[in-house]
Homo-oligomer: A and B are copies of this chain.
Amino acid sequence: MDERAALARVADLVPAAGDDAALLGDTVVTIDMLHDRTDFPAGTTRYTQGWRAVGASLSDVAAMGADATGAVAVYGAPDFDPDALEAFVRGARDVCERVGAEYVGGDLDDTAEFTTATTAVGATDTPVFRSGAEPGDAVCVTGDLGRSAAAIDAFRAGDHERGNDLFRFTPRVRAGVALAPHATAMMDSSDGLARSLHQLAEASDCGFSVDSAEIPVVEGVAFERAVTFGEDFELVCTLPPASVEQVETDVPLSVIGAVTEGGVRLDGEPLPDEGYTH
């Protein structure tokens, strides 16, 4: 049974689940697990791992429109090499600093494979869910897609420095907070834009019509790969067209299309629900 089918099975047990992070009053919380085999190509440094793992959780907080307040992490490894641990913690701390959050520690665990679990916490009075998109809304994306695909290419080509640089993304916390009062639905692009649109469509009971010419892609990455590869941490959101001009984000916000009554279409053709299955 794959992840999505398994999650559907327990959905009734956990009605609060289904967004990038969970809401507890005005606090949002999220948890993720990453490990060597599936998430970190050879050449990824421990510093980058700490940054990226905690960054992924901060991105989930951003996707709720919440301001990230802090994060914690578990460092699971076969041995506790002090230099490796210190590098991981520095990465975790630096990505928190980048978005104005505090890294407040965590735990160690003795695991066969390098494994990290991360939690980020945020605060918001105006949480944004996946479920509020309305036909006529504009659909927007922050930054450029394909950054992680480019990183994988760099790692494969042996350019570990560039791979690590690209892997250390800035979680879109500032943009999420700026978008929150306006956005009708939001999530991050960690499963790829195509899958994100399908998930928003399902949660909001709507469709999307997007235009390939408007979708911002990292230089050197093929369009289709940028749209389906995933592991990027940009925000995908919907907002009333009149709000687009009012929002001031610290990164470019591209209008890539519009919310429709049903169906997810790219340049008028059905866009398959393909992407990264975590």
Contacts and interface: CB of A to CB of B under 8 A. Distances in A.
A1 B80 CA distance: 6
Contacts of A219: none
In the complex, the count of this chain's copies comes to 2
A3 B81 CA distance: 10
6 contacts: A16-B103, A31-B118, A32-B107, A34-B109, A111-B115, A121-B121
Contacts of A42: none
A105 B34 CA distance: 17
Interface stretch (A4-12, A172-180, A207-215, A233-241): A4-12
A200 B126 CA distance: 40
Contacts of A13: 86, 89-90, 93
Contacts of A118: 31
A217 interface: no
B85 A10 contact: yes
3 nearest A-B residue pairs (beta carbon):
A17-B105, A117-B117, A22-B104
A10 to B, nearest CB: 5
A185 interface: no
Interface string A77-113: 0011110011001100100000000111111111111
A226 to B, nearest CB: 24
A37 B111 CA distance: 9
A79 B35 CA distance: 16
B31 A106 contact: yes
